[in-house]
Chain A
Amino acid sequence: MKTFRIGGVHPAENKLSAASAIEVLGLPKQAVFPLSQHIGAPAVPCVAKGDVVKVGTKIADAGGFVSAAIFSSVSGKVAKIDSVIDASGYRKPAIFIDVDGDEWEEGIDRSETLVKECSLKPEEIVEKIKNAGVVGMGGACFPTHVKLCPPPGSKAECVIINAVECEPYLTADHRLMLEKPEEILVGVSLLMKAAKVDKGYIGIENNKPDAIKLMQEKAVAYPGIEIVPLKVKYPQGGEKQLIDAVISRQVPAPPAIPISVGAVVQNVGTAYAVYEAVMKNKPLFERIVTVTGKSVVKPSNFLTRMGTPMSQLIDAAGGLPEDTGKVIGGGPMMGKALMNIEVPICKGSSGVLIMNDKEARRGEVRPCIRCAKCVSACPMGLEPFLLSTLSAHSEWERAEKDDIVSCIECGSCQFTCPSNRPLLDMIRLGKSTVMGIIRARSAK
């Protein structure tokens, strides 16, 4: 069975909510939409205080090419445009909407019927995706339409769908595949058409045999789409690792991007969002969120309107456990620890993970014993022990020479470190500093 070639680790899977069918979560009282929910320029509000909006009304325009529009997930009145603490732990501008009823924009097809036929041209599909505010649903939130418009000189050869869900605990993508397989496949066909390729791969780790089986059965009817079962290994869901695993090509060091080897990678949730946007005229305003954790009463998968505070999801899953130590937006390997549980669900919120106090604490930091386990674990072939020391000593030039910018921040090094060293903390610091230095240099 296929997998990526360098490094990798095996965190305990803990897919507690894998058997919980997707439930529809109730409407929030107030929905909050941060203006930067995606990579790139923040969106620009196109509503003002007091405006009445419906479900699916555009409330903020894209702030540039690499940006995405934001749509209201509720109907009601705009209460204010203020700031809210988002997953980054800082106050960011956001639109607050007081919910009143559930009235949808006309033109959104709310029926469950599967629409397969699409006569749109590739450019029209891309335009529709762009106008629906679709971004990568895996967590990085890169605007989807940007990935479908390859830079001049590069050509896409295949679309790779990331259904790996290598993060422990999370099951949103898994449930989506089990419950909406045909919709996903139509979405993949649309993405293939938009990228002008005739080959699509869906990579699924073999810890989801039911999803692999179901998707393989359904995919027979969709020419060009191949289901690729993959050996379980973290971080297979990393874009570069997935390409290596599926088509055995390695994306060179930055500034090369996946399209340099002919691949367009999209998340399985994105494929579903594309289906809804193109076939059902439904912009991106809801998503599936896993609420899980060892102490959570009822680990669940919720179909959630964006802007819902996480506390509402936690309540629906049985409330915040008494021994809560950490609440994480996303998975345990790459998610962000939240400062409070009122953070709104955004386009990239794949899960809410609640860890108990004991799990949440890091172990005591010990001296590096140079065991080289981080080197073996690094999926990018870097030397985490060295990079973290260089960062701690502000040796930016050497860090750059040792390819610190290639780091994908997967956390495998810190996960394996027997001395509990904060390797990735320091490498992140070094990476952002070095990237700043590189930008300043190229700006000259």
Chain B
Amino acid sequence: MDLILVAVISLGAIGLIAAVILYVASKKFAVYEDPRIAQVAEVLPQANCGGCGYPGCSGFAEACVKAGSLEGKLCPAGGQAAMEKIAAILGLQAEASEPKVAVVRCNGSCENRPRIVKYDGAQSCKVAHATCGGETACAFGCLGCGDCVKACQFDAIHMNPETGLPEVDEEKCTACGACVKACPRVIIEIRPKGKNNRRVYVSCVNKDKGPVAMKACKVSCIACGKCVKECSFEAIKVENNLAYIDPNKCRLCRKCEAVCPKNAIVAVNFPPRKPKVETPATEAPKAETPKAEA
């Protein structure tokens, strides 16, 4: 009986002392944190992708609460919906933002771009980039080691084993930009999703002169300038032997795609082109629903 009593008393005493210490410590060392920070952090995706430019989701939440306005702040992963929720919590106005998506600007699949050497180093694009121009004669295109895939927090980008190129899953992509930072050749670009998810872009980043680019890859941009002449909206520019389509000016007319001699311009999520005779172009989009896949 005594034994039990001793045990109960001693354990109870230890418990009491610990409780007192904990209580004192929690009072004395308490740090006040705005409770809204936790609330804001709750509506964020908690992927800590860094796409907002702050160190992780809690960093972004803190910045939102402290700044007092949501101007210039966007959680690319959570998108407009998350920003609306944050705005509601903080009683502020969310900025309108355009949905964006990552676009891989290289079409140098195994078929289009013949391999001329074999790379035998660490499986990292950054290392391969520092080793040499890559396995092909194109020193600008995709290296295929998948640094972008490893960087993606949302499982939205995968290597296609047939083409050896990464493919973006538009449904999952949050346009956080982690893959853009991971790519040593800046092949991936964050572009506006576009109307009905339709986009027209130059799927090449080769800055070599025409003949060199021509030889390296079947679908390289050779900076011939045909697209520039064709475009009625001044959306296309050729700089450093490479054409670039400004997504804000492009009206998705697809004329450039049609004239590109190397098929370097890609239009995605459009319905298949009808044979030219049958146009009225205005009706074409309604005829079929756009495919979701890129």
Contact = CB atoms under 8 A, between A and B. Distances in A.
> Touch between A and B in complex, CB under 8 Å?
yes
The size bracket of the interface on A is 10 to 19
Contacts of A339: 116-117, 132-133
Nearest to B126: A429
Nearest to A423: B122
B202 to A, nearest CB: 21
A436 to B, nearest CB: 12
Given A422-B122, A425-B124, A426-B124, A90 B212 contact: no
Contacts of B131: 89, 337, 425
Contacts of B132: 88-90, 337, 339
Contacts of A337: 131-132
A340 B137 CA distance: 10
B121 interface: yes
Contact of A429 (B130, B133, B208): B130
Contacts of B122: 422, 425-426
Nearest to B119: A337
B41 interface: no
A34 B133 CA distance: 16
Contact of A89 (B124, B133, B208): B133
Interface in B103-154: 116-117, 120-122, 124, 126-127, 130-134, 139
Contacts of A88: 132
A360 B121 CA distance: 11
B116 A429 contact: no
The size bracket of the interface on B is 10 to 19
A370 B228 CA distance: 58
Contacts of A422: 121-122, 127
Contacts of B133: 85, 89-91, 339
A71 B139 CA distance: 29
Contacts of B126: 429
Interface string A252-264: 0000000000000
Contacts of A392: 124
B139 A428 contact: no
A95 B122 CA distance: 34
Contacts of A248: none
A361 B132 CA distance: 17
Interface string A80-112: 000101001111000000000000000000000
Interface of chain B: mostly helix, strand, loop or mixed: loop
Contacts, number: 46
A93 to B, nearest CB: 12
Interface string A398-426: 00000000000000000000000010011
Given A91-B139, A339-B116, A428 B130 contact: yes
B120 A362 contact: yes
Contacts of B120: 360-362
Contacts of A154: none
A432 B208 contact: no
A330 to B, nearest CB: 14
Contacts of B130: 428-429, 432
A63 to B, nearest CB: 21
Contacts of A83: 212
A339 B132 CA distance: 8
B240 to A, nearest CB: 13
A429 B139 contact: no
A89 B117 CA distance: 11
Contact of A425 (B117, B127, B139): B127
A425 B128 CA distance: 9
A91 B206 CA distance: 12
Question: Which of A88, A339, A426, A432 has the most C-beta atoms of chain B within 10 angstroms of its own C-beta?
Answer: A339
Contact of B127 (A89, A91, A361, A428): A428
A360 B208 CA distance: 30
Contacts of B116: 339-340
Contacts of A429: 124, 126-127, 130
B139 A90 contact: yes
Nearest to B128: A425
Interface string B194-217: 000000000000001000100000
Interface in B160-178: none
A417 to B, nearest CB: 12
A428 B126 CA distance: 10
A405 B134 CA distance: 26
A339 B124 CA distance: 18
Contacts of B208: 91
Contacts of B127: 422, 425-426, 428-429
B126 to A, nearest CB: 5
A116 B47 CA distance: 72
Given A89-B139, A90-B133, A428-B130, 4 more contacts: A88-B132, A339-B117, A426-B127, A429-B127
The 10 closest A-B CB pairs, nearest first, are A89-B132, A422-B122, A425-B122, A89-B133, A425-B127, A425-B121, A90-B133, A339-B117, A429-B126, A90-B139
Interface of A: 83, 85, 88-91, 337, 339-340, 360-362, 392, 422, 425-426, 428-429, 432
5 contacts: A91-B212, A337-B131, A339-B133, A425-B127, A428-B130
